[in-house]
Chain A
């Protein structure tokens, strides 16, 4: 008789322990996810800033007359302006268009403005890759069953990849 009571107590204890471990595991996952969301937000802010820096550097080159002809200047300046316009749906396409414009025109071989554009383009590329890495990790974790079933993401909106052409302008590689 007393053996049976002991067994029941052990089983109950084990069940409670397992539940506790499960809750702790879920809490740990939620915490991981929370941290990833925070990193996503930070990476997005860095990416936005890098994009603005590149856009301003491109505008400066266009306005300086370094491009040699006003048509090239207008093309670059217009593409740069487009990236600063508030149109979230077209946001990444505008960045790709600026990349394309910078690849089409003939940039001077050297000079402070070209160096600053090259630096900004390099940093934008790095920022985009870092952003997408953390977004990929976040999306992977959000996709796990435990996260979906227990709604561990809460109200946080899913981050999205920044998909655009981040090639650096030709002729500027290595100048920074």
Chain B
């Protein structure tokens, strides 16, 4: 079938939604579908043939954080052109409740639409003051998908109904088969942190505060910090600066190799996480996970069955959890094997089946019959 995917964020910038759309396009194409992707982006930058850009995204404050989005009459005109020329059987928009090209495509669509909500929320008062524009637009969504419980809540609150839960997909094999790197493994034990180091909500500070207590139990322990942004080493307690290694931003391959090398992965985020894909990546790579007890993380970790949870933002509890886990080989082994099974539900082989089933249900019967793949 001919599927049009709409991404609200520029594909040139990494991010959970962008990665999902990019991978979904790849997997759908591999399965014989014709896929077109619409996203914000620079006209000057070369993009693969199936990607159409609608113009540069501008930073806007929406929903309490700054997002780079594209909108306006010119974007609307280019979206309409893309829809016309794409001759899609079906449109799959991501994050339709954001002021973005996704909402514009939904508004202009005249084919069945599947919508996936990742995290964007909508104020009730915004919805009521804009009901005349938004309600008829949102009504066009034939199937609603939420990637997690926290993404599902606003959908139910504003639109009612029963959205389906289909998580973001991951190519698990690229993590299970990642080769460990010796210098990231020994001298051990090594603790991995992944994520932007300059965003307080990623919680690096919590982990740095926990490090002295960990080093006290495990004098050879090292913390490996990977991710975009500078690390002010001086903010780490002086006694443990020698136990801290800043790796900077890693390639996707090296991320996977870091995870498969480490003895424990710590996710000390203090909020704002709606999914927790990096936890799934760690689980796939076979590294035991210690994570703050956020709803999204608790859900990925099966209430603690596939990893250890500690109270959000508490360095002492974090240090305890890590120290215990590093000492306890049996528990690490148990977590590894239960995680290995749990991540299968996020593997693209599984996720794509769920998504295709939604597509087929949404399409009028004769169209499904037409697609002889």
Whether B125 lies near A70 (C-beta < 8 A) is no
B104 partner residues in chain A, CB cutoff 8 A: 69-71
Given A69-B72, A71-B71, A104-B58, verify A77-B101 contact (CB < 8 Å). Answer: no
A78 with B101: in contact, given A62-B129, A72-B71 (CB under 8 Å)? no
Give residues of chain A (74-99) contacting chain B, Cβ–Cβ below 8 Å.
74-75, 77-82, 84-85, 97
Enumerate B102-140 residues with CB–CB distance to A below 8 Å: 103-104, 107, 122-123, 125-126, 129-134, 137
Q: Report how far A144 CA is from B368 CA in the complex, Å.
A: 81
* Distance of A32 Cα from B125 Cα, bound (Å): 43
Residues of chain A within 8 A of B63, CB atoms compared: 78
Q: Does A116 contact B (CB under 8 A)?
A: no
Q: How many chain B residues touch the partner (CB < 8 A)? A: 29
Closest residue on chain A to residue B137 by CB atoms: A70
> Knowing that A59-B129, A69-B76, A79-B61 are A-B contacts, what are 7 other residue pairs whose CB atoms are under 8 Å apart, sorted by A's residue number?
A62-B133, A63-B130, A68-B73, A69-B71, A71-B75, A77-B129, A78-B122
* A104-B60 in contact given A73-B133, A75-B71, A78-B99 (Cβ < 8 Å): yes
B contact residues around A63 at 8 Å (CB): 129-133
* A interface residues, how many (CB within 8 angstroms): 26
Which residues of chain A come closer than 8 Å to B226, judged between CB atoms? none
Which B positions have Cβ atoms within 8 angstroms of A?
58, 60-63, 69, 71-73, 75-76, 98-101, 103-104, 107, 122-123, 125-126, 129-134, 137
Is A71 a contact partner of B73 (Cβ separation < 8 A)?
Answer: no
Indicate if A105 sits at the interface (CB-CB under 8 A). yes
A147 within 8 Å of B (CB atoms) = no
Report the Cα distance A72→B72, complex, angstroms.
6
A106 vs B73: C-alpha distance when bound (angstroms): 8
Cβ-defined partner of B126 (8 Å) among A65, A78, A97: A78
Contact partner of A70 (CB less than 8 A), chosen from B58, B60, B123, B133, is B133
Interface of A is mostly: helix
- Residues of chain B lying within 8 A (CB to CB) of residue A81: 123, 125-126, 129
Would you call A70 and B107 a contact (CB within 8 A)? yes
Q: Can you name 26 A-B residue pairings with CB atoms under 8 Å?
A: A59-B129, A59-B130, A62-B129, A62-B133, A68-B76, A69-B71, A69-B72, A69-B75, A70-B104, A70-B134, A71-B76, A71-B101, A71-B103, A72-B71, A72-B99, A73-B99, A74-B98, A75-B69, A77-B129, A78-B63, A81-B123, A81-B125, A81-B126, A85-B123, A100-B61, A101-B60
Q: How far is the CB of A103 from chain B (nearest CB, A)?
A: 10
